[in-house]
C-alpha cells in the first residue's frame, strides 16, 4: 500500500503519440536468434556426437547378451520436445504448456476458522492462525483435485514410485500464498483435508510428494468406507453419509450465494441523468439553442443545461459574457463551445427538464429507484440468509468430522501404542487402515502444502526384446519420452527417464494408449496392442494439432469421458 | 476493439501462424495491439517512458514465446494482457517504480452514484483513500471494470477466470471498497 500512488485526472495521451512510439524494426532486431535444431548443431556432431558414439559402443558391449539396442537418427526425423523428463525439469510441470489443469482458488481470512468445500466435494479445514502469514490480510488457497489419469498427466504430476507407476484413487494438490508469495502451515496447527476418492478398492496406500525431488513417501491418513460398501464400520459409514450430504448442501448454498451476488451486481440503480433530472443547482444554466438542430432535446419540452462537475474552466466561463456559442453532440453527450473574438472555451453539459416535466421525471425516477432498491434489498437479504445457513452447515460438518476422528482414535488406540518410532508408526498406520476399511474418503492432517495421493504401486511392464520404431505419417521419430497409459491397470508409465530409459520400453497385454508430446505442443498418440507391437516392431502414431489438444480430447483418447469431478 | 467476429479471429490466427514461422510477420499484431497494451500498462504506472519500455518488453516476450501460444477460443489480446501483467509487476520489482492508480473525476462520480452519496470534496478524499487501501486483486478488478470500462467477458479472459466469476469477484471488490469508504468517515 505504501508503494502505491493514486493519481487524479492525469492528462490523457493521444493515440497519435502512442503510434509514433511504435518501433517494430527495433523489436525484431532485439529478438533472440532461433536456436538450430540440436541434431544439426556442431555440438551434436562434435563432443556430444563423439560421446554418443562412445556410449553406443559401450552399450553394445554391455548388452551383447540381449539384442543390441540402437536408435537411428534420420534426416527426416520430426524434432521432439526435449523437456518432459522428470530429472530434467521441476517436479511438477505441465507436459503440454497450453493445457494445464486450473486451480480452484479460495481467498480466506487466516485469522478465523475456515472450511473450504471444493467442487469435488472434498473439504479443507484451516483453523484460525494455522497459516504462517507474511503480512496482515487474506491468504489465497489454491487447490486442484485429480480424479483421473488425464488430469494428473496434464498437470504434470510425477507418478513413478521406486520402480513402479502409481494407480491413483484420488489425489489433491493444495498450495497457499499471500501477495504472490508462498506461505507455510504452523507445525502445531495442521490443516485437515478430507479427500473424496473415486475408487473403492482395497490396498491403496497414501503418499505425499516431495516437491523438490519429485519422489513420493508414505503419509498417514484415515480411510473411511463409502456408501457403496457398508461394512463392519457401519457407524463410521453412517457419519460419512451424513457428512457427504452436508457437503453437498454447502456446495449448493455456495452456488446460490454466487448467483445472488451476480444478481446484485446486475441491478442498476437508476441515475438522475437518465431522467434528465438536475443534480447540482450551482451548475445549472439556460441556453437559447436552436430546437430545429436538436429535435431530441426539443422533445423534452422546456429544458435547462447542467454542467458536469469538476470542470476547471466552469467559473471562468460564467464570469465572462460570450458573443457566440455552439452545441455539439458527441457520443450522447453535449459539448457547448463558448467563443468570442479572443477566446474559446468548451464545457460538457447535459440537458435537464424543468417545470411540470421536472415533477413527472422526479416521480418516474423515484419509482424506478425504489423498485431497484427493493430488489437489491430483497436479494441482499436472501444472500445474508444463505450465508447464515452455510455457517450452520459448516458447524454441522465440523461435528461429523470430529465424530469421525473420535471413531478413528478408538479403533487405532491399541495399535498406536504398539509402535515407538513415529515414522514407522505413521507408515504402518496408513497400511493398517487401508486394509481395514474400504477407501472412499481419505482424511488426513498436514503441516505442509503439497500433493497428496491415494495410490497403489503397479510394476512397470517387461521391456520388449526388440527395438520398437515410432512412425508419424511415414517418418521415423526418435522420442525422448514416451507415455504408456495402461487402460486395464489404470496407470501411466513414463519411459525416457533415468529410472525407466527408452531401451526399457514395454507394455502390458491390456488396452494401451501410447502418447508422445511433440514440439509446439502437438500430441502424437496410438492405441497399441502388445502382441501386434511385438510382431511388427512398429507403432504408428496420429497427431493432434496443437490447437486441438484439449483436456476433453485427451480424456476421450484415454476413455475417461465418463469420469468427472 | 478487444472482441472480434469469427472472421477477424481467423484472420488473427493466420497472422499468428505466419509470425510463428517468420517473426517479421508479427508486425500486424504489433500494430493492432500496441496502443491497447500501452494504455493498460500506463494506466498502472506513473512514468510514461517506463511504460513505453515495458510495452516493448511485452511484445519482445510475446515474439520470443509465440511458439508456445495456442489458440483457446479467446483473442490473442488476452495472452498479451497476461504477459503485460507479468512484465508490469516485474518492472515494479526491478526498477523501484511505484504502482499507480489513475482515476478520473468522472469515475469518482460513478462510485458516488453506487454508494448513494453526495459528490463533494470530502467524499472525494474518502473515496481516494479507500481506493488506495484496497488489495491488489480487488483494485485490478475495480480498475478494469470501472476505470477501463471492460466487459466482464474480457476481464475473465485477461484474468483467466469465467465471466460469472469476474462478476462475483467485482461485486465483492466493490463491497470492500464501500466498506473502506464508510470506514473513512473522517
Residues from chain A that touch B74, judged by Cβ atoms under 8 A, are none
User: How far is A356 from chain B, CA to nearest CA, in Å?
Assistant: 25
Cβ contact, residue pair B34, A264, below 8 Å: no
B85 CA: distance to closest CA in chain A (Å): 13
- Other C-beta atoms closer than 10 Å to the C-beta of A456 total 21
Q: Is the pLDDT of residue B182 over 80?
A: yes
Tell me: pLDDT of B27 over 60.
yes
Is the pLDDT at A376 greater than 70? The verdict is: yes
**A33 touches B: beta carbon within 8 Å:** no
- Mean pLDDT within A239-253: 82
Contact B34 A22 (CB under 8 A): yes
pLDDT for residue A560: 76
Letter string b/e over residues A6-30, b meaning 16 or more CB atoms within 10 A of that residue's CB = eeeeeeeeeeeebeebbebeebeee
- Helices B163-183, B105-115: crossing angle, 10 deg rounding: 90
Distance CA A530, CA A537 (A): 10
**Helix, coil or strand: residue A490:** coil
Report ipTM for this prediction. 0.87
Is residue A466 scored above 80 in pLDDT? Answer: yes
Give the pLDDT band of residue A36 (cuts 50, 70, 90).
Answer: very low
**Rounded mean pLDDT, B93-116:** 79
pLDDT at B147 over 90: no
- Would the pLDDT of A10 be above 90? no
Least confident interval from A240-254, A425-439, B60-74: A425-439
List the Cα angle A285/A288/A289 in 5-degree steps. Answer: 110
pLDDT at A130: 93
Is pLDDT above 70 for A427?
no
**Better pLDDT: A426 or A485:** A485
In angstroms, the CA A115 to CA A127 distance is 8
Distance from CA of A227 to the nearest CA of B (A): 33
Q: What would the pLDDT profile of A67-82 be if each residue is shown by its tens digit? A: 333 232 222 222 222 2
- Check CB contact under 8 Å for B99 and A18: no
* Residue contact B167–A265, C-beta within 8 A: yes
pLDDT at A252: 86
Q: What is the pLDDT of residues A377-392, one digit of tens each?
A: 999 999 899 999 988 9
Q: Is B1 on the interface with A (CB under 8 A)?
A: no
> Of A50-64, A117-131, A242-256, which range is least confident?
A50-64
Closest to A190 (Cα-Cα) out of A143, A139, A124: A124
Start-to-end CA span in chain A (Å) = 39
Q: Which of residues 99-138 of A touch B (CB under 8 A)?
A: 99, 102, 107, 137-138
Which of B168, B172, B180, B184 would you mutate first to test chain A, the one with the most A CBs within 10 A?
A: B168
For residue A514, what pLDDT band results from cuts at 50, 70 and 90?
very high
Local confidence band at A240 (pLDDT 50, 70, 90 cut-offs): confident
Longest dimension (CA), chain A: 108
- Chain A residue numbers with beta carbons less than 8 Å from the beta carbon of B164 are 258, 262
- Give the C-alpha separation, B159 to B152, whole Å: 10
Model confidence at A482: pLDDT above 90: yes
Identify the pLDDT of residue A77: 26
Say if residue A226's pLDDT is above 50.
no
The fraction of chain A above a pLDDT of 70, given in percent, is: 79
Is the pLDDT at A49 greater than 80? The verdict is no
b/e string for A516-536 if b means 16 or more Cβ within 10 A?
Answer: bbbebbbbbbbebebeebeee
Ramachandran assignment for A497, one of left (phi > 0), alpha (psi -120 to 50 degrees), beta (any other): beta
What per-residue confidence (pLDDT) applies to A235?
57
Q: CA quadruple A382, A388, A394, A397: dihedral positive or negative? A: negative
Please indicate if any CB of chain A lies within 8 Å of the CB of B136: yes
By C-alpha distance, which of A294, A427, A418, A423 is closest to A350? A294
Chain B positions in Cβ-Cβ contact with residue A279 (cut-off 8 Å):
119
pLDDT of the residue at B177: 92
Chain B residues with CB under 8 Å of A546 CB are 70
Q: What is the pLDDT of residue A204?
A: 78
- For A:363-382, CB contacts with B below 8 A are none
pLDDT of A411: 54
Question: pLDDT (tens digit, 9 = 90+) per residue, A148-193?
Answer: 889 899 998 989 887 789 988 889 999 999 888 889 999 888 898 9
The whole-number pLDDT of residue A73 equals: 28
Q: What is the pLDDT of residue A64?
A: 38
Cell triple for B174: 466493490
**Span A305-350, pLDDT tens digits:** 999 887 877 888 888 888 899 999 877 789 999 998 888 888 989 9
Please report which confidence band the pLDDT of residue B5 belongs to, taking 50, 70 and 90 as the band edges: low
- Give the pairing type, strands A538-544 and A469-472: parallel
- Does the pLDDT at position A553 exceed 80? yes
B59 has a pLDDT exceeding 90: yes
A437 pLDDT exceeds 50?
Answer: no
What integer best gives the mean pLDDT of chain A? 78
Window 237-256 of A, Cβ < 8 Å to B: none
Q: Is residue A61 over pLDDT 70?
A: no
Shortest distance between the Cα of A258 and any Cα of chain B, in A, equals 6
Higher pLDDT, A146 or A55: A146
Q: If pLDDT is split at 50, 70 and 90, which confidence band does B185 have?
A: low
Provide, as residue numbers in chain A, all residues whose Cβ is less than 8 Å from the Cβ of B136.
Answer: 179
Give the B window 95-134 contacts with A, CB below 8 Å: 98-106, 109, 113-114, 116, 119, 128, 131-133
Alpha helices in A344-354 (DSSP H): none
Count Cβ–Cβ pairs < 8 Å, chain A vs chain B: 119
Amino acid at each position: 500500500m505504501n508503494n502505491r500512488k493514486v493519481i487524479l485526472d492525469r492528462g490523457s495521451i493521444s493515440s497519435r503519440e502512442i503510434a509514433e512510439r511504435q518501433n517494430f524494426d527495433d523489436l525484431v532486431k532485439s529478438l533472440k536468434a532461433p536456436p538450430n535444431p540440436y541434431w544439426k548443431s556442431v555440438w551434436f556432431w562434435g563432443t556430444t556426437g563423439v560421446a554418443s558414439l562412445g556410449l553406443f559402443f559401450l552399450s553394445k558391449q554391455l548388452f551383447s547378451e540381449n539384442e543390441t539396442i540402437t536408435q537411428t537418427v534420420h534426416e527426416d526425423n520430426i524434432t521432439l520436445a526435449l523437456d518432459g523428463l522428470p530429472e530434467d525439469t521441476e517436479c511438477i510441470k505441465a507436459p503440454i504448456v497450453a493445457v494445464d489443469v486450473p486451480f480452484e482458488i479460495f481467498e480466506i481470512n487466516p485469522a478465523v476458522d475456515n472450511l473450504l468445500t471444493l467442487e469435488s466435494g472434498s473439504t479443507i479445514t484451516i483453523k484460525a492462525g494455522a497459516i504462517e502469514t507474511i503480512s496482515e490480510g487474506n491468504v489465497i488457497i489454491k487447490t486442484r483435485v485429480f480424479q483421473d489419469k488425464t488430469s494428473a498427466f496434464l498437470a504434470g504430476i510425477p507418478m513413478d514410485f521406486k520402480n513402479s507407476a502409481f494407480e491413483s484413487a484420488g489425489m489433491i494438490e493444495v498450495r497457499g500464498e499471500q501477495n504472490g508469495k508462498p506461505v507455510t502451515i504452523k507445525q502445531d496447527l495442521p490443516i485437515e483435508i478430507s479427500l473424496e476418492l473415486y475408487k473403492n478398492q482395497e490396498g491403496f496406500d497414501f503418499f505425499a510428494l516431495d516437491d523438490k525431488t519429485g519422489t513420493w513417501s508414505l503419509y498417514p491418513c484415515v480411510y473411511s468406507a463409502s456408501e457403496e460398501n457398508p461394512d463392519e464400520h457401519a457407524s463410521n459409514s453412517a457419519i460419512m453419509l451424513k457428512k457427504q450430504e452436508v457437503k453437498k448442501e454447502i456446495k449448493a448454498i455456495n452456488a446460490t450465494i454466487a448467483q445472488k451476488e451476480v444478481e446484485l451486481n446486475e441491478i442498476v440503480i437508476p441515475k438522475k441523468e437518465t431522467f434528465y433530472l438536475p443534480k447540482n443547482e450551482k451548475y445549472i444554466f439556460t441556453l437559447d439553442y436552436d430546437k430545429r438542430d436538436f429535435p431530441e432535446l426539443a422533445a423534452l419540452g422546456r429544458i435547462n443545461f447542467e454542467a458536469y462537475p469538476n470542470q476547471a474552466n466552469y467559473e471562468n466561463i460564467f464570469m465572462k459574457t460570450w458573443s457566440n456559442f455552439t452545441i455539439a453532440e458527441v457520443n450522447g453527450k453535449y459539448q457547448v463551445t463558448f467563443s468570442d473574438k479572443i477566446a474559446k472555451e468548451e464545457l460538457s453539459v447535459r440537458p435537464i427538464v424543468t417545470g411540470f416535466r421536472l415533477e413527472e421525471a422526479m416521480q418516474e425516477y423515484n419509482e424506478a429507484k425504489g423498485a431497484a432498491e427493493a430488489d437489491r434489498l430483497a436479494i441482499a437479504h436472501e444472500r445474508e440468509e444463505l450465508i447464515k445457513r452455510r455457517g450452520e452447515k459448516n458447524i454441522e460438518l465440523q461435528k461429523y468430522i470430529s465424530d469421525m476422528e473420535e471413531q478413528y482414535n478408538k479403533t487405532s488406540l491399541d495399535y498406536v501404542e504398539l509402535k515407538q518410532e513415529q515414522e514407522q508408526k505413521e507408515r504402518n498406520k496408513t497400511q493398517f487402515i487401508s486394509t481395514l476399511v474400504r477407501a472412499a474418503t481419505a482424511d488426513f492432517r498436514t503441516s505442509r502444502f503439497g500433493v497428496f495421493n491415494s495410490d497403489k504401486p503397479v510394476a512397470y511392464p517387461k521391456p520388449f526384446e526388440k527395438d520398437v520404431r515410432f512412425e508419424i505419417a511415414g517418418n521415423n521419430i526418435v522420442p525422448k519420452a514416451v507415455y504408456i497409459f495402461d487402460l486395464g491397470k489404470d496407470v501411466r508409465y513414463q519411459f525416457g527417464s533415468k529410472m525407466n530409459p527408452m531401451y526399457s520400453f514395454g507394455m502390458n497385454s491390456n488396452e494401451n494408449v501410447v502418447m508422445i508430446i511433440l514440439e509446439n505442443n502437438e500430441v502424437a498418440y496410438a492405441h497399441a496392442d502388445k502382441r501386434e507391437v511385438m510382431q511388427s516392431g512398429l507403432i504408428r502414431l496420429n497427431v493432434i494439432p496443437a490447437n486441438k489438444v484439449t483436456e476433453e480430447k485427451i480424456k476421450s483418447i484415454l476413455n475417461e469421458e465418463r469420469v468427472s469431478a | 476493439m478487444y472482441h472480434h467476429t469469427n472472421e477477424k479471429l481467423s484472420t488473427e490466427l493466420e497472422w499468428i501462424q505466419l509470425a510463428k514461422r517468420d517473426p517479421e510477420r508479427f508486425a500486424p499484431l504489433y500494430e493492432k495491439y500496441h496502443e491497447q497494451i500501452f494504455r493498460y500498462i500506463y494506466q498502472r504506472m506513473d512514468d510514461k517512458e517506463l511504460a513505453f519500455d515495458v510495452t516493448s518488453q511485452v511484445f519482445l516476450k510475446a515474439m520470443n514465446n509465440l511458439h508456445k501460444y495456442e489458440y483457446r477460443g479467446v483473442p490473442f489480446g488476452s495472452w498479451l494482457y497476461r504477459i503485460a501483467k507479468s512484465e508490469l509487476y516485474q518492472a515494479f520489482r526491478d526498477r523501484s517504480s511505484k504502482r499507480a492508480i489513475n482515476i478520473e473525476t468522472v469515475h469518482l462520480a460513478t462510485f458516488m452514484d453506487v454508494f448513494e452519496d453526495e459528490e463533494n470534496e470530502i467524499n472525494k478524499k474518502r473515496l481516494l483513500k479507500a481506493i488506495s487501501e484496497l488489495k491488489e486483486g480487488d483494485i485490478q478488478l475495480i480498475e478494469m471494470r470501472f476505470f477501463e470500462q471492460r466487459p466482464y467477458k474480457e476481464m475473465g479472459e485477461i484474468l483467466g477466470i469465467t465471466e460469472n466469476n469476474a462478476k462475483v469477484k467485482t461485486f465483492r471488490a466493490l463491497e470492500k471498497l464501500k466498506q473502506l469508504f464508510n470506514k473513512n468517515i473522517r
